[in-house]
Chain A
Amino acid sequence: MSLFRDLLRHPSGRIGLIIVLVFLLAAIAGKAGLSPFDPLAQDRLARLQAPSASHLFGTDMFGRDVLSRLMVGVAQSFIVSFFSVAVATLAGTVLGLTAAWYGGLWDGIVMRLMDVLLAFPAILLALLIIAIMGPSGWTSILAIAIVYTPIFTRVVRGPALSLKRRDFVDAARSFGSSRRYIMSRHLALNLVAPLTVQITLALAWALITEAGLSFLGLGTQPPQASLGLMLADARNLMEMAPWLLLVPAVALSFAVLGFNLLGDALRDLLDPKTRRALA
Chain B
Amino acid sequence: MSSLLSVRDLKVGFGPRPESNEVVHGVSFDLAPGETLAIVGESGSGKSVTSMAVNRLIDFGGGRITSGSTAFTRADGSTIDLARAEERQLEGIRGREIGMIFQEPMTSLNPVLSIGTQIEEVFRIQFAMSGAEAKTAAREALERVRIPDAARRLTYAPHQLSGGMLQRVMIAIALASNPRLLIADEPTTALDVTIQAQIMGLLSEMKRETGTGMIFITHDIGLVAGFADRVMVMQQGEVVEQGMLDAVLDNPQHDYTKHLLNAVPHFSDGRSVRHDMQRDEGSRKVLEVEDLTVRFPVRAGLLKRQTGNVHAVEGVGFDLMQGETLGIVGESGSGKSTTARAILDLVRPTKGRIRAEGLAGAVSDKPVQMVFQNPNASLNPRLTVKQLLAEPLIAVRRRIDAEAVSRMEMLLDRVGLPADSLARYPHEFSGGQRQRLCIARALMLNPSILVLDEAVSALDVSVQAKVLDLLIDLQNEFGLAYLFVTHDMAVVERIAHRIAVVYAGQIVEIGPTSEVLANPRHDYTRQLIKAVPSLDRRHSDYGIDLTEIPSLVRPMGWEPDAPRYESAGEGHLVRAGA
Which A residues form the contact surface with B (CB < 8 A)? 166-168, 170-178, 181, 185-186, 189-190, 192, 272
User: In the bound complex, what is the Cα–Cα distance between A202 and B395 (angstroms)?
Assistant: 37
Tell me if B394 is interfacial: C-beta within 8 Å of chain A: yes
A185 CA to B390 CA in the complex, in Å?
Answer: 12
Residue of B nearest to A168 (CB): B380
Within 8 A of A (CB), among B318-374: 341, 344-346, 365-366, 369-370, 372-374
Contact of B366 with A190 in the complex, beta carbons under 8 Å? no
Contact with A along B379-418 (1 / 0, CB 8 A): 1111100000001101110000000000000000000000
Which residues of B (433-451) have their CB < 8 Å from a CB of A? Answer: 438, 441, 445
Residues of B near A177 (CB, < 8 A) are 391, 394-395
- Flag whether B462 is at the interface (Cβ < 8 A): no
Does B378 touch A at the CB level, under 8 Å?
A: yes
Which residues does chain B contribute within 8 Å of A186, judged by CB atoms? 380
Do B396 and A168 touch across chains, with their CB atoms under 8 A apart? Answer: no
Say yes or no: A176-B379 contact (C-beta < 8 A), given A167-B374, A170-B346, A181-B395.
no
9 contacts between A and B (CB under 8 A): A167-B373, A167-B377, A168-B380, A171-B379, A176-B365, A177-B394, A181-B394, A186-B380, A190-B381
Return the contact of B383 from the options A173, A176, A189 (Cβ within 8 A).
A189
Residue in B344, B346, B378, B383 whose beta carbon sits within 8 Å of that of A185 in the complex: B383
- In the complex, what's the smallest C-beta–C-beta distance from A151 to chain B, in angstroms? 24
| Contact for A190 among B382, B395, B396, CB less than 8 A | B382
**Is there contact, CB below 8 Å, between A175 and B382?**
no
Complex Cα distance A174/B452, Å? Answer: 12
Residues on B lying within 8 angstroms of A by beta carbon are 341, 344-346, 365-366, 369-370, 372-374, 377-383, 391-392, 394-396, 438, 441, 445
- Specify the main secondary structure of chain A where it touches its partner: helix
Q: How far is the CA of A170 from the CA of B377 in the complex (A)?
A: 10
Given A167-B372, A171-B370, A189-B383, are A176 and B377 also a contact pair (CB < 8 Å)?
Answer: no
The B contact surface, by secondary structure, is loop
Task: Return chain A residues, CB-CB under 8 Å to B346.
Answer: 170, 173-174
Neighbouring A residues of B441 by C-beta, 8 Å = 171
Task: List the A residue with the shortest CB-CB distance to B376.
Answer: A167
Task: Report yes or no: A175 in contact with B369, Cβ–Cβ below 8 A.
Answer: yes
Nearest CB in chain B: distance from A170 CB, A: 6
Return chain A residues, CB-CB under 8 Å to B382.
189-190, 192
How long is the Cα–Cα vector from A137 to B344 in the complex, in angstroms?
Answer: 54
- Contact among B377, B391, B438 for A166, CB-based, below 8 A: B377
Q: Which residues of A contact B377 (CB under 8 A)?
A: 166-168
Q: Is the CB of B394 within 8 A of A168?
A: no
| Contact indicator A172/B369 (Cβ below 8 Å) | no
CA distance A181 to B392 in the complex (A): 11
Tell me how far the C-beta of B339 lies from the nearest C-beta in chain A, rounded to whole angstroms. Answer: 14
